[in-house]
């Protein structure tokens, strides 16, 4: 049992202003694995005040000082790597291999990339006799989700530290254990008191208090589009900057000249990765009508390769959904797909055979789906793939863009020029061709209701900086 009932404020672990304890559930066995406190407005006030005081000095740190700090964080993170991965496995049910290789690894990669960017980043530009400078925006509220917990923490905290900002982090109350380990890493690395603060809580409490707070200069939020809308509304009266990485319903266009079996298996396995709990998951597979039967067989083959089970077992490739709420939502949407007449290729309702407890679901594939069905419109956030037929390339592009979201897109083709042409026409912030995968230096973010702003790499610095023009700077 992990008892994490204190908050990290002004460089120390402190008791909450009000006692309100929340259980953390291991989704693999539905047992309590930890406890945290849920913060109040008073806790937020303390944390924001600490960040505001620290900003006065930390914002003046040199680039070299910030580079040295990020370097120490990398070293401590590496020493605590196994602790980060274990916390993620316990709190969200990520299989051990996924927690180690992808989840914990992503957090380290973002810190290392921020350090790399900082070495050459231009904080000043000369325009004749005038100078344009980029300055830290101030106190940042960082609100992160449960599906890639440390990835999303690191890709916000690292650029904030690199640019000279101070911050208050509110991780998801569903998966907060890894955030505490992350705070311990920053403390051990010597982050100055008040620069980084952690207040646990839920969205309605701490999330609202942070987004409304008059002394917060930026809210960086990752989560659902519904919650992002509320945060923007809460932030509007104080005209603070709000950046959001929200939901997705990403299309995966498999063009007729692709190797259909290979492309479908790759796309399906990507969909089942992290139990489908990724905002950029390729959840809508668009297949030429003449190749649908072949695609169905390949998708069913992929589902059969998935080993669902105990995340601690190294043979497991797919763990449970994160919570009872998520389990119920996914089950209801699978039922909706059946009700609306989609063809159930494999999977379906209920737990996989042999798993009587835990929030486990079957890798599920629907076919003969039209783009107006609920399973094609709503972000399911579970291992549910829908196959949508098309007749022409233009129709495939139209279906791909017929969504409120625009986070990611995927194109599979044997003709690279054709794939490039189609990729340019997809209205999304990130498009992958033939299974290519970028790194932490590639910008990540979405069009439309998938959010605004970009994270990762040099582009991820932008939202944390204000731009000041000093006219006549070089006048003699």
Query: What is the pLDDT, as a whole number, of residue 307?
Result: 98
Give span(s): CATH 3.40.309.10, the chain: 251-439
**Largest Cα span, the chain:** 80
**334/21 Cα distance (integer angstroms):** 34
For the chain of 476 residues, list the mean pLDDT of each consecutive stretch of 10. 96 96 98 98 98 98 98 98 98 97 98 98 96 98 98 98 99 98 98 98 97 98 96 98 97 98 98 98 98 98 98 96 98 98 98 96 98 98 98 98 98 98 98 95 98 97 98 83
* 130 close to 472: Cβ distance less than 8 angstroms: yes
pLDDT at 476: 58
The single residue of 279, 296, 346, 455 carrying the catalytic annotation is: 279
Helix or strand (DSSP H, E) at 86: helix 81-92
**pLDDT of res. 399:** 98
Instruction: Give me the phi and psi of 107, to 5 degrees please.
Output: -60, -45
- The pTM of this model reads 0.97
Sequence-separated (6 or more) residues with CB below 8 Å from residue 336: 374, 375
Q: What is the DSSP string of 224-243?
A: -HHHHHHHHHHHGGGT-EEE
- Listed in sequence order, the residues at least 6 apart from 345 whose beta carbon sits closer than 8 Å to its beta carbon are 296, 299, 300, 365, 366, 367, 387
User: In the annotation, is 279 catalytic?
Assistant: yes
CATH assignment of 2-246+449-470, given 3.40.605.10, 1.10.150.120, 3.90.79.10, 3.40.50.300? 3.40.605.10
User: Which part of the chain has CATH 3.40.605.10?
Assistant: 2-246+449-470
Both tokens of 311, joined, read: 């995340």
CA 47 to chain centre: 24
- Spot the catalytic one: 91, 113, 173, 245: 245
CATH superfamily of 251-439: Aldehyde Dehydrogenase; Chain A, domain 2 (3.40.309.10)
Is 245 designated active site? yes
Structure tokens at 265: 């298996």
Alpha helices in 354-470 (DSSP H): 374-377, 393-401, 416-425
């Amino acid at each position: 049992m992990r008892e994490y009932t204190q908050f990290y404020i002004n460089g120390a672990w402190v008791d909450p202003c009000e006692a309100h304890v929340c259980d953390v559930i291991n989704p693999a066995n539905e047992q309590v694995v930890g406890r945290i406190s849920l913060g109040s407005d008073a806790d937020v006030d303390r944390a924001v005040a600490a960040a505001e005081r620290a900003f006065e000095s930390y914002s003046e740190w040199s680039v070299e000082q910030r580079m040295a700090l990020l370097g120490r964080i990398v070293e401590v993170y590496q020493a605590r790597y196994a602790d980060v991965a274990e916390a993620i496995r316990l709190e969200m049910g990520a299989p051990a291999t996924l927690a180690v290789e992808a989840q914990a690894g992503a957090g380290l990669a973002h810190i290392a990339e921020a350090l790399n960017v900082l070495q050459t980043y231009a904080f000043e530009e000369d325009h004749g006799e005038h100078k344009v400078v980029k300055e830290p925006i101030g106190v940042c509220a960082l609100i992160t989700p449960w599906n890639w917990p440390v990835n999303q923490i690191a890709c916000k905290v690292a650029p904030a530290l690199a640019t000279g900002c101070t911050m208050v982090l509110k991780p998801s109350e569903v998966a907060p254990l890894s955030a505490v380990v992350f705070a311990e890493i920053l403390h051990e690395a010597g982050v100055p008191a008040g620069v980084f603060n952690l207040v646990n809580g839920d969205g309605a409490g701490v999330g609202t208090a942070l987004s409304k707070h008059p002394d917060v200069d930026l809210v960086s939020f990752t989560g659902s589009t519904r919650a992002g809308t509320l945060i923007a509304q809460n932030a509007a009266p104080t005209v603070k900057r709000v950046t959001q990485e929200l939901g997705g319903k990403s299309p995966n266009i498999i063009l007729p000249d692709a190797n259909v079996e290979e492309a479908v298996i790759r796309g399906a396995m990507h969909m089942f990765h992290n139990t489908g709990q990724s905002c950029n998951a390729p959840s809508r597979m668009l297949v030429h009508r003449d190749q649908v039967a072949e695609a169905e067989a390949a998708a069913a083959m992929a589902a059969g390769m998935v080993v669902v089970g105990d995340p601690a077992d190294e043979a497991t490739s797919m763990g449970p959904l994160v919570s009872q709420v998520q389990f119920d939502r996914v089950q209801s949407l699978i039922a909706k797909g059946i009700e609306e007449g989609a063809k159930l290729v494999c999977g379906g309702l209920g737990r996989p055979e042999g798993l009587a407890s835990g929030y486990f679901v079957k890798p599920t594939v629907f076919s003969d789906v039209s783009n107006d069905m609920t399973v094609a419109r709503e972000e399911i956030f579970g291992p549910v793939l829908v196959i949508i037929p098309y007749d022409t390339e233009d129709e495939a592009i139209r279906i791909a863009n017929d969504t409120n979201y625009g986070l990611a897109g995927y194109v599979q083709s044997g003709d690279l020029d054709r794939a490039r042409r189609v990729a340019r026409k997809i209205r999304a912030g990130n498009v992958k061709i033939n299974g290519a995968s970028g790194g932490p230096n590639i910008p990540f973010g979405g069009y439309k209701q998938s959010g605004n702003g970009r994270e990762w790499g040099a582009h991820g610095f932008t939202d944390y900086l204000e731009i000041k023009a000093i006219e006549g700077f070089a006048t003699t």
